[in-house]
Chain A
Amino acid sequence: EDQVTQSPEALRLQEGESSSLNCSYTVSGLRGLFWYRQDPGKGPEFLFTLYSAGEEKEKERLKATLTKKESFLHITAPKPEDSATYLCAVQSTIQGAQKLVFGQGTRLTINP
């Protein structure tokens, strides 16, 4: 059974304090690993897709990396507007594009 575990559940940082969020996964053949951002009361917003170990993607202060067992979302010099819940999800080669398996998310708070 495909599984995704995110840690920590919640993270509080000061503005400018860099850190990383972890996403550990087990999947029967990785088709893709996805990172989403979710603001309170809104739907998940797509950030990145990673397809193979060693791949990296960047967007502003965010950088996502992928190994065979986990993905990291690095946040560099965060600002208060980066506060949100960050969700990780995987697709397997068996299930295909029709199914995403999500982790429970990391709630990130950036204090000014």
Chain B
Amino acid sequence: NAGVTQTPKFQVLKTGQSMTLQCAQDMNHEYMSWYRQDPGMGLRLIHYSVGAGITDQGEVPNGYNVSRSTTEDFPLRLLSAAPSQTSVYFCASTPGYYGYTFGSGTRLTVV
């Protein structure tokens, strides 16, 4: 049972490049979310999904896209990377009635 798996662990992008952060969970959880963590800002919700085919925006969605074609996978796409998107990104999942399980994070630097 792997829990929530995120790839890659580290990434450096140039301004304007696009990329996809991968997230997969093997617990059959309906709810999945993406958070970013910045010093002094805490964890902030980017996008979330309440089931396959259903996604919605969180607190800081601009510059990011998501899709949920299966229960297991919830990729986060950066459309045109900006230095302001330098952060640590966490994917999380929950069955809905319990605490979220978080992945180990992706540390992204945009230069």
| A contacts, CB < 8 Å to B | 32, 34, 36, 41-46, 48-49, 87, 89, 97-100, 102-105
Residues of A near B56 (CB, < 8 A) are 98
- Name the residue on A nearest B32 (C-beta): A98
| B contacts, CB < 8 Å to A | 4, 31, 33, 35, 40-45, 48-50, 56, 58, 90, 92, 94, 96-105
Given contacts A99-B33, A104-B40, 19 further A-B contacts (CB under 8 A): A32-B99, A36-B102, A42-B104, A42-B105, A43-B103, A43-B105, A44-B43, A46-B100, A87-B42, A98-B31, A98-B33, A98-B50, A100-B33, A100-B43, A100-B45, A100-B100, A102-B35, A102-B42, A103-B42
Minimum distance in angstroms from B22 CB to a CB of chain A: 15
Instruction: Kindly name the residue among A89, A98, A105 whose own CB sees the greatest number of chain B CB atoms within 10 A.
Output: A98
- Name the residue on B nearest A32 (C-beta): B99
* B48 x A46 contact (CB < 8 A): no
Minimum distance in angstroms from A28 CB to a CB of chain B: 15
13 examples of A-B residue contacts, CB within 8 angstroms: A32-B99, A42-B105, A43-B92, A43-B102, A44-B102, A97-B94, A97-B97, A98-B31, A98-B48, A100-B45, A102-B43, A102-B44, A103-B42
Contacts A49-B98, A98-B48, A100-B100: A44 and B90 contacting too (C-beta < 8 A)? yes
Residues of A near B92 (CB, < 8 A) are 43
